[in-house]
Chain A
Amino acid sequence: MEITFSDARVWRYIFSSASKFMDSLLLTVNEEGLTVKGIDPSKTALIEFTIPKDSFDKFEIGGESTVQINLEEAGKVLRSVERDDKISLRWNESSITFIFENRGVPRYFTLPLQTEETQKIPELSLELGNTFKMPGDALYEGITGIEGVGEVLLIEGDEGMLKLRSESDLGEAEIVFSTEKGILEEAAVKNPGFSVSYGMEYFTYLKQPIKIAENAVLKAESDMPAELTLTFIQDAKLKYYVAPRAE
């Protein structure tokens, strides 16, 4: 089995972000393409990274296959990714090889695959009435601006407006994105005035992938998980779910 994708940077940022709060990821390939899924030990956050088959430079698989990757080791390997690197993956029953290639010089890193019981990733059923679309770097700036203030991220929304808020003993910080100012590319709000809070760290973990995403779509609803969809080059997508806090 071997697959090749043209931009290793996306993999690097996603794996390194996931390694901050997850132990392992499940990588599945089938006729549709690739899916990488993982959930954190406290079952608060879930990631689902997908790349359609046609977006790969090379996609040679002998049928559906799922392997479990230890994130601690894979995260270290992916840290060596350089700008303009391509990434190829080869695997068999016991090991996986990451190949990074730049200017015709491939670098090989082989890791043993995890053989423990495969983690179960739940299928979520969410009806989220409020959707906001913006450039990835705008959301990145928003999170960076308020993350130091408190450990809770409050998301609120109204017609044409999304508010990220945080407060603590230190004070209060608020970032407002609006369609009027042009930062929000789209805002479809079914339930104006909704308000929901999440652990700030779960958004901080994802800052790097958010920063390099072409766009970010955030769906939220009172008392419901947040769904953040990041779109990268060649239709690679990261869906990220975070459970709400019970305040």
Chain B
Amino acid sequence: MMQEYKVRNKLWPRPSIIYLRDEIYGPSPPSVYVGWRNYPKVVIGPSIARESEHASLYDYPESWLGIGLGELIKMRLSMIYGLRKANIEDVWSYGILKLQEIALSNKPVDIEMNVLRKGLIRPMLTRELPPLGPRTILQSLRIAGNVSLEKPIERVYYDTDLRANEAIIELYLNKVPISRIQKALSVGALGAMRVRKLVPTRWAITAVDDIISKELVKRVKELKELNEFLLYVGYGYDNLFIAILMPGPWNFEWMEAWFPGSAWNTEGTKVSIESDWEGPKGRTTYPSIGGCYYASKLAVAEHLVNGLRREATVMLYREIYEGFNIPVGVWFVREFLRRLFKEKPRKFSSLLEVKEFLKKVTRVPVDIWWRKSYILRNYGKGRSLYEFIKKEKR
């Protein structure tokens, strides 16, 4: 049983001072956080969930859509993190090896943390990360329960010649959940021996989405092109998601429209629309729109490879309404889209028909966001050199 702790300031979500007893005992979902500030001298440490029964749920984004965002935020903010300083190259030190054991487990692990009595670290809400509960300083750590490793994780962990990219793909192909691969990369458990490093959690999330989606896009480009227009529309949690899949080579765009009062437009008075895109060769720069770009790309590439088995030009659009006023992390985009792609799409024979249908769907007038989309405003305008081919002599 976890010992009690008390939140003195109950003004959620920013309880400012948390008093803890010296020792905290309980299940880690498992979850290990690696900070990004002061990189390469970062902070790292495990967290403990508030309950034993559903502990694994506390750090398993793949199942969070089913529990509601309010409940999720409460759950996440109730976790306690014990953090200590580490250099990113310390992956072979005894303390980090112990953290790797915890992070790689596929079941919750009972741990005992000895922490400083006073901790003054607020919960953290960012665009990339799931909400992080209060954090305090970790003095010592003991693994009290059993650690259980899945075969594919065990294989790549002990293969110190395998490059991190290859390990990530291998884990994905072996159906290891994305969130578990992200944890493994973050705690420095993947890659060739000499180059294994701790990777801040928020960077690891994006890196894994990026590496897997790149691999999937390679496979997408080997498939036959889609021969109709498919439209997926999903609404939930004060968000509207639209996916337009069009005949054509792989081109991808992710666009977000943040309404005033939503998480990233709290002070604004106008809807803020941003987008980023890539052609068949992908991007060479980080998209200004952030990690959601890679999370959404992974979801749609996965659907093209495993679901439709077709290559397509893809435009994804999201409207974020006033009620969605707390950032919850990029997992939300990935998992929402994965769920959306399980639904049956509407079929159209032209992009014009798609546009006509969407006039009744989006709150931002369709002409406005359509014009801002690189892919939509240019779709069908590029001609092929094959129209100008030399005719063979008979």
Say which residue of B250, B381, B385, B391 sits within 8 Å of A43 (CB atoms).
B385
Inter-subunit contact A23/B281 (CB<8 Å)? yes
Q: Is A245 an interface residue (CB 8 A)?
A: yes
Say which residue of A21, A39, A199 sits within 8 Å of B382 (CB atoms).
A199
Inter-subunit contact B374/A41 (CB<8 Å)? no
User: Are A241 and B381 CB-contacts (below 8 A) given A20-B281, A42-B249, A125-B390?
Assistant: no
Q: How large is the interface on A (under 10, 10 to 19, 20 to 34, 35 or more residues)?
A: 20 to 34
Q: Is B12 an interface residue (CB 8 A)?
A: no
Inter-subunit contact A245/B385 (CB<8 Å)? no
Inter-subunit contact B280/A41 (CB<8 Å)? yes
- A24 CB to nearest B CB, Å: 12
Q: Is A158 an interface residue (CB 8 A)?
A: no
Q: Is B389 an interface residue (CB 8 A)?
A: yes
Q: Is A136 an interface residue (CB 8 A)?
A: no
Q: Is B279 an interface residue (CB 8 A)?
A: yes
User: Are A39 and B385 CB-contacts (below 8 A) given A20-B281, A23-B281, A123-B390?
Assistant: yes
Interface string of A4-21 (1 = CB under 8 A from B): 000000000000000111
Which residues of A in the span 167-191 have a Cβ within 8 Å of any Cβ on B? none
- B381 CB to nearest A CB, Å: 5
Inter-subunit contact B385/A44 (CB<8 Å)? yes
- B223 CB to nearest A CB, Å: 12
Which residues of A in the span 28-79 have a Cβ within 8 Å of any Cβ on B? 39-46
Which of A20, A21, A243 counts the most chain B CB atoms within 10 A? A243
Residues of chain B at interface, number, CB under 8 A? 23
Inter-subunit contact A246/B383 (CB<8 Å)? yes
Inter-subunit contact A123/B385 (CB<8 Å)? no
Which residues of B in the span 337-394 have a Cβ within 8 Å of any Cβ on A? 374, 378, 380-391
**CA A125 to CA B388, docked complex, whole Å:** 6
Q: Is B163 an interface residue (CB 8 A)?
A: no
**CA A41 to CA B382, docked complex, whole Å:** 12
- A128 CB to nearest B CB, Å: 10
Q: Is B127 an interface residue (CB 8 A)?
A: no
Q: Is A104 an interface residue (CB 8 A)?
A: no
Q: Considering only CB atoms, which chain A residue lies closest to B281 in the complex?
A: A21
- A38 CB to nearest B CB, Å: 12
Say which residue of B249, B374, B380, B391 sits within 8 Å of A125 (CB atoms).
B391
Which residues of B in the span 278-312 have a Cβ within 8 Å of any Cβ on A? 279-281, 284
Inter-subunit contact A246/B378 (CB<8 Å)? no
User: Are A243 and B378 CB-contacts (below 8 A) given A21-B281, A42-B280?
Assistant: no
Which of B250, B279, B380, B386 counts the most chain A CB atoms within 10 A? B279
**CA A42 to CA B375, docked complex, whole Å:** 13
Inter-subunit contact B391/A122 (CB<8 Å)? no
User: Are A245 and B381 CB-contacts (below 8 A) given A23-B281, A42-B249, A151-B374?
Assistant: yes
Say which residue of A23, A43, A126 sits within 8 Å of B386 (CB atoms).
A43
Q: Is B221 an interface residue (CB 8 A)?
A: yes
- A94 CB to nearest B CB, Å: 21
Inter-subunit contact B281/A245 (CB<8 Å)? no
User: Are A123 and B249 CB-contacts (below 8 A) given A151-B374, A243-B384, A247-B381?
Assistant: no
Hey, which chain A residues are within 8 Å of B249, CB to CB?
41-42
Hey, which chain B residues are within 8 Å of A246, CB to CB?
380-383
- A173 CB to nearest B CB, Å: 19
Hey, which chain B residues are within 8 Å of A19, CB to CB?
281
Q: Considering only CB atoms, which chain B residue lies closest to A169 in the complex?
A: B371
Q: Is A244 an interface residue (CB 8 A)?
A: yes
Inter-subunit contact A122/B389 (CB<8 Å)? yes
**CA A151 to CA B372, docked complex, whole Å:** 12
Hey, which chain A residues are within 8 Å of B389, CB to CB?
122-125
Which residues of B in the span 299-334 have a Cβ within 8 Å of any Cβ on A? none
Hey, which chain B residues are within 8 Å of A135, CB to CB?
none
Inter-subunit contact B280/A40 (CB<8 Å)? yes
Inter-subunit contact B383/A243 (CB<8 Å)? yes
Closest 9 A/B residue pairs (Cβ): A125-B390, A41-B280, A43-B384, A123-B390, A243-B383, A122-B389, A245-B381, A243-B385, A42-B249
Q: Which positions in A face B, CB cutoff 8 Å?
A: 19-23, 39-46, 122-126, 151, 199, 201, 224-225, 241, 243-247
Q: Which positions in B face A, CB cutoff 8 Å?
A: 221, 248-251, 279-281, 284, 374, 378, 380-391
